[in-house]
A and B are shown apart, each in its own frame.
Chain A
Amino acid sequence: MRYYIGAEARLRRTVEDVAMSVFEGWNYEEVITPSVDYYDLFEQGMGQREAQRGFRFTDNDGRLLALRPDVTSSVARMAATLLSERPRPLRFCYAAPVFRQQTQSHAEWRRENTQLGCELIGAGGKSADLEMLRLAAEILARLNLESRYCITINNVEIFNGVAAQLNLSPSAREDFRRLIDTRAAAELQRFLQNYDSREGQVFAQPAQLTGKLAVIQTARNLITNERSVAALNVLDELWTEIESLGLQDVFDIDLGDVSSLDYYTGLSLKIFVHGAGTSVGRGGRYDGLTGNFGRAEPAVGFVLNLDALTEVLGRKGKHD
């Protein structure tokens, strides 16, 4: 629960306006989706584990509803059903509150967050991925953050390829993922001793997972499976584009970003801003999602957390 009064509310509105005007500049159409919808929609859209963090309740007829825990699910369904005849690609943006139950350690007001987001549906490949990165970078650049921010990018197929090659059981795969995600170096090395594979070693040194182009070169020395190599190539090409746009200071490669593997299918990105303890935005490619609503097509998008951004910018204003 959080109130914004006067100057804070104006600042929040300004941040929202900046993001929405950048989206509009790139021809993204605003969309407003229902705040309350059938719970089923979100389970199809986000997977069970994430959707269960939503607030659920029933109507008088006993049907299960939810306060929307994300907007992407609704946009994906809309694209597959209402707009199935519209020529592709579709470009949509939104500024909308989402509601999620938080773990104990988080402040209560974070149960409601406003997402500034965009979705590009029906376009795959490098140029669509790059469009997301440029949008995110442009919004951050216009927010007066004095270059104290960073966007990390990864391709989840690099991990998927290595995990497939190691032939891990589902629980071992989850252990492997968790150890990489928390950068637990010693445990990772112990885990990999059980597997006779050179490829796994790519994740054994967490320090080598994060950085600029050198990260890809190091990974190439160890990875040979086709699936991961293809993903490395995609990431490599994307990085070349980032460099040619002169944006390499803003971006980092992070092969250790494996936090939501069951959702993303290619590019994944996270946005960090100095002064915020957690990431203030995330996104990626989710080609598997729209198929859940009857029309499989490539899609990519990201969201920024308006409340977190407002807090960082507000605190900065006070200290200056």
Chain B
Amino acid sequence: MITIAIAKGRMQESALALLARAGIRLSEDAINSRRLALMDETGQYRFIFVKPADVPVYVEHGIADCGVVGRDVLLESEADLLLPLDLGIARCRLVVAAADPEAMTNVQGMIRVATKYSQIARAHFGARGIPVEIIQLSGSVELAPALGLADMIVDLVETGRTLRENGLTVVEEIGESTGRLVVNRASYQLKAEEVSRLLNALTTAM
């Protein structure tokens, strides 16, 4: 049996749809229940649903053999994992956004950046030699510039609607983020057959 940790929220629906195309299905009853650990119809796979940032933790410690989680979360975590498949689901962009399109040159003094992704923001500005003050938030990041908490934000953008409605424009693209399949290093060796069966099924379904 293989345990797969799925990031709750944005990722969950498209991950389950992809898995269903790969022939790994959860019954309707199971999906509609509020249990956080479920078996698939064949009994070969167990699913656990956890917060996105916890997926790398469960997989690195081997509690889950595999996980489905966004690249944005992986960049932010320090977990040591295998990343065999880019599933191409829940595609979105990581961007720097600000109210003033020229903010990068117009801001006086130290730039203040509000974000949920402090590691990614630090690495992005650090690589370009721009000193910034990172303000770590856990949600509704788009509010920060309007209320004067920060000059810019680093955030995940799907359609760009939330940005527009809060008067922000994209200043820079940092990169793209899609759902990835991650695998625990020990499971990759010790459950090689099951893991490669899952990899093949997902590759065909993509």
Contact = CB atoms under 8 A, between A and B. Distances in A.
Contact of A185 (B60, B80, B84, B190): B84
A150 B84 contact: no
B82 A182 contact: yes
Interface stretch (A116-124, A167-175, A271-279): A271-279
22 contacts: A103-B78, A103-B80, A105-B77, A149-B190, A182-B81, A182-B82, A182-B83, A183-B84, A184-B83, A185-B85, A186-B85, A207-B199, A211-B192, A252-B189, A272-B185, A272-B190, A273-B186, A274-B190, A276-B186, A277-B63, A278-B60, A278-B80
A277 B79 CA distance: 12
A52 interface: no
A254 B189 contact: yes
A150 B190 CA distance: 7
B167 interface: no
B63 A184 contact: no
B62 to A, nearest CB: 2
Interface of A: 103-105, 148-150, 152, 182-187, 206-207, 210-211, 252, 254, 272-279
Interface in B151-206: 183-186, 188-190, 192, 196, 199
B189 A183 contact: no
B40 interface: no
Interface of B: 56-57, 60-63, 77-86, 183-186, 188-190, 192, 196, 199
Contacts of A186: 85-86
A277 B5 CA distance: 14
Contacts of A211: 192
B83 A105 contact: no
A150 B80 CA distance: 19
B156 to A, nearest CB: 20
Nearest to A211: B192
A105 B84 contact: no
A278 B79 contact: no
Contacts of B184: 277
Contacts of A152: 189
A259 to B, nearest CB: 9
B186 A105 contact: no
Contact of A184 (B60, B84, B185, B196): B84
Given A103-B78, A279-B185, A183 B83 contact: yes
A210 B62 contact: no
A206 B61 contact: no
Contact of A183 (B60, B63, B80, B188): B188
Nearest to A184: B83
Nearest to A179: B83
B25 to A, nearest CB: 25
